[in-house]
């Protein structure tokens, strides 16, 4: 067992000490950070945050107070009441406001409002003015009724047999699962490519012949898989630490985020599936490296093992609208697609416990089977140079 740890530490340290690893470690967070800065900057630059005016000609909004949601949303627009249109026009011409709304005398019957601006009013201004109207129209209502009306409607998808948990109030949850899935997908490819490149290079320069005089093929393979798996897990830990810290910081700065309830079931399911999924892919990459004769060929074969993980992304609508359909259930149980498929189903329905256990069990069995298959392939191909090893040979051989 000590020889396994020797291979493990050698494989782990030789990767994490390279500049390529450091670049890969920082590339994704820096890319996300740069993209976020550009996106936020574009929103700030293109969004006019100047107040808008409200001129009441209906008499329904007498003594109306300015309305603003700046505390909850720093990008919101303030609504300022004006006694008449002439005053509002002067404020518009001087640049104090970006535009104003004139509430028509027959507003209660027709709901007509006239907007005046020099460049047009965007969605943030329209949303702020709508909230201004509702807030003051409902000022005499019961506080619970007023709050409920201001919250708006909540649409929840529901299946005939299970209570659906996907709601329009938390539309970002599918995106969170997809982003998490993309991180795992990149990590899987990184882990596999590290292992694949190491195996093929050692096979091509015949370093493997020297190594295998001191330890068994099983010890060598297990040490390599665990070492490269740890390299990938180091990157994932670093990648997750940054958004978690950013999330904690956002919670302290943006009170609105504290009111959002997130169901963590999809994320726990993904975490339980991730480790055996990594082992399965690492073993299959070993299989690809053992059966190939050169690095380029091995990478082409290896891509076939990682691409199926992306399949649930293309069926997102089916997962959310028909989570109990045969296709959704099948993709959530199949080992190559369950890493993303099962959490997506958990967003939209209550998954029976036996299905979750079955999906995790199948993933673990697939990981064990992949290690067994890779071990046989590695043992048969370790001294075969320039000659391909077919899958048929792996299953038929008694080695």
Residue 295, pLDDT score: 58
Residue 204, pLDDT score: 59
User: What is the model's pTM?
Assistant: 0.60
Domain boundaries, the chain: 2-34+164-396, 51-151
Q: Please state, as a whole number, how many other Cβ atoms lie within 10 Å of the Cβ of residue 335.
A: 23
Residue 100, pLDDT score: 94
Nearest to 306 by CA among 192, 206, 200: 192
Q: Bin 13: left if φ > 0, else alpha if -120 < ψ < 50, else beta.
A: alpha
Residue 245, pLDDT score: 74
Q: CA 85 to CA 67: how far, in whole Å?
A: 18
Q: Considering the domain 51-151 in this protein, what is its CATH number?
A: 3.40.190
Which residue in the block uniquely carries the two structure tokens 């909004």?
Answer: 61
Q: What DSSP letter does each residue of 5-48 carry, written as one string?
A: HHHHHHHHHHHHTSHHHHHHHHHHHHHHHHHHHHHHHHHHHHS-
Q: What DSSP letter does each residue of 40-75 carry, written as one string?
A: HHHHHHHS--S-EEEEESSSTTTTPPPB--TTT-TT
pLDDT along the chain (399 residues), means of 10: 78 79 76 78 76 90 81 79 92 91 89 88 86 81 68 57 49 66 71 65 60 69 76 76 70 58 76 84 73 60 73 84 88 90 84 92 90 75 58 59
Q: Give, as one character, the DSSP assignment of residue 315.
A: G
Which residue in the block uniquely carries the two structure tokens 């890319």?
Answer: 31
Q: Give, as one character, the DSSP assignment of residue 156.
A: B
Residue 14, pLDDT score: 79
Q: CA 286 to CA 348: how far, in whole Å?
A: 36
CA atoms within 13 A on the CB side of 62: 4
Say whether 382 sits in a helix, a strand or coil: coil
Residue 82, pLDDT score: 93
Say whether 81 sits in a helix, a strand or coil: strand
């Amino acid at each position: 067992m000590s020889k396994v740890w020797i291979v493990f530490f050698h494989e782990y340290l030789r990767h994490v000490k390279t500049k390529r690893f450091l670049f890969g470690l920082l590339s994704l967070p820096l890319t996300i950070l740069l993209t976020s800065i550009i996106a936020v900057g574009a929103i700030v630059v293109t969004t006019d945050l100047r107040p808008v005016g409200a001129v009441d000609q209906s008499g329904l909004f007498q003594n109306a107070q300015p309305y603003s949601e700046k505390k909850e949303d720093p990008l919101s627009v303030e609504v300022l009441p004006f006694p008449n249109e002439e005053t509002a026009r002067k404020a518009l011409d001087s640049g104090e406001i970006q535009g104003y709304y004139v509430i028509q005398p027959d507003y209660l019957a027709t709901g007509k409002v006239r907007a005046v601006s020099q460049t047009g009013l965007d969605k943030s201004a329209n949303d702020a003015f709508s909230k201004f109207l509702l807030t003051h129209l409902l000022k005499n209502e019961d506080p619970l009724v007023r709050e409920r009306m201001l919250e708006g409607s909540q649409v929840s998808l529901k299946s005939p047999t299970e209570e659906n948990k996907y709601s329009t109030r938390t539309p970002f949850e599918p995106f969170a699962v997809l982003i998490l899935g993309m991180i795992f997908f990149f990590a899987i490819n990184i882990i596999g490519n590290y292992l694949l490149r190491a195996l093929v290079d050692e096979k091509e320069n015949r370093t493997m012949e020297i190594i295998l005089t001191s330890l068994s093929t099983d010890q060598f393979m297990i040490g390599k898989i665990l070492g490269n798996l740890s390299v990938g897990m180091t990157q994932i830990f670093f990648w997750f630490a940054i958004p978690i810290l950013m999330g904690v910081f956002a919670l302290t700065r943006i009170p609105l985020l504290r009111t959002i309830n997130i169901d963590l079931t999809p994320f726990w399911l993904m975490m339980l599936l991730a480790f055996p999924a990594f082992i399965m892919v690492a073993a299959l990459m070993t299989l690809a490296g053992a059966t190939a004769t050169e690095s380029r060929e091995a990478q082409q074969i290896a891509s076939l093992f990682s691409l199926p993980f992306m399949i649930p992304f293309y069926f997102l609508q089916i997962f959310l609208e028909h989570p109990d359909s045969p296709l959704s259930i099948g993709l959530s149980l199949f080992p190559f697609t369950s890493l993303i498929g099962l959490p997506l189903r958990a967003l939209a329905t209550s998954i029976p416990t036996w299905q979750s256990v079955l999906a995790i069990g199948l993933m673990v069995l697939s990981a064990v089977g992949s290690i067994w298959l890779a071990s046989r392939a590695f043992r048969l191909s370790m001294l075969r140079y320039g000659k391909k090893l077919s899958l048929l040979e792996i299953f038929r051989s008694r080695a």
